Amino acid sequence: MSETTVLPMARALNAGLRQALIDDPKVLLMGEDIGPLGGVFRVTEGLQAEFGDLRVRDTPLAESGIVGTAIGMAMRGYRPVIEIQFDGFIFPAFDQITTQLAKMRNRHEGQMTMPIVIRVPYGGHIGAIEHHQESPEAYFAHTPGLRLVSPSTPNDAYWMIQEAIRSNDPVLFFEPKSRYWPKGEVNFESSAAGLHQARVVQTGDDVTVVGHGAMVSVLLQAAKVAATEGTSIEVIDLRSLSPIDYGPILASVQKTGRLVVAQEAPGSVSIGSEIAATVAERAFYALQAPVLRVSGFDVPFPPAKLETLYLPDADRILEAVDRSLAY
């Protein structure tokens, strides 16, 4: 494999999972239809043929059972990587994740590790039906004991999945479905940043905009349009949702004096809400305008024909930027 190549995120994840399976014989993959089919999004395509059905296992349609089985395997020294087929399917496993997986290490005073990764394809822009385009990350970021990350590029996907698998804490790995197939450069020699580090992907002077997953590409679109109008936007990719790396965000707000936080998920009691509150607490005197949030609406995810009205786009980002600059 060459040092650098161009891949879609789905193939970068496949390469990252393959490397993890090679590096550690205790790593195994489990999920619905991940074997011969390679998963709904073909992320695990070819891995069962290469590593066998003891390490890449199809499971029954029972998310709670999948997570419970993984907890037992982690207790025996394995490192299970679970695929939840679609975001909305994670809720049958909610109890196992929040009351068992998240608390197991604390119950044993750190003596028992829980090296489990739960892969969650999430978010909109694919024209799917109910329970197939949700953004449930805030439920789990609220739960102590869980780590949450979300890559926005193929390079991050390749490296972050391997770092997540090496973690001795449970990691929910949120994969933006709409970014599975756009291609990007993957450097197989070095990671761009650590698992829980936010990253400035474009520098600017006038307004800071922050997002994660698929929203990062929307923020970059908005920044490109804003530049033609003379506005310089700094774009930050969160990458980690729990813990959140506030260092780059606070440093940027100290420079620009303005912050817009964007997400696909509903706005109330959300990742964006937490960032807005924390920046108001820790950088109040640097702010020249209120922190503004752009999000999905506080309603169930709508039918496919209405998703473009629900999901934040570049126009909604730019409208928030204009409001921030107007103060």
Q: Which of 132, 142, 196, 212 is catalytic?
A: 132
Q: How many CB atoms lie within 10 A of CB 299?
A: 8
**Alpha-carbon gap, residue 290 to 287, rounded angstroms:** 7
Q: Across-strand partners of 186?
A: 5
Q: Which two tokens stand for residue 52?
A: 């066998």
**Alpha-carbon gap, residue 160 to 96, rounded angstroms:** 24
**Alpha-carbon gap, residue 182 to 184, rounded angstroms:** 7
Contacts of 293 (CB under 8 A, 6+ apart): 260, 261, 262, 263, 267, 270, 272, 273, 276, 320
Q: Is 132 a catalytic residue?
A: yes
Q: Per residue in 193-211, is it b (16+ CB within 10 Å) or e — as a string?
A: bebbebbbbbebebbbbbb
Q: What are the residue numbers of the active site? A: 132
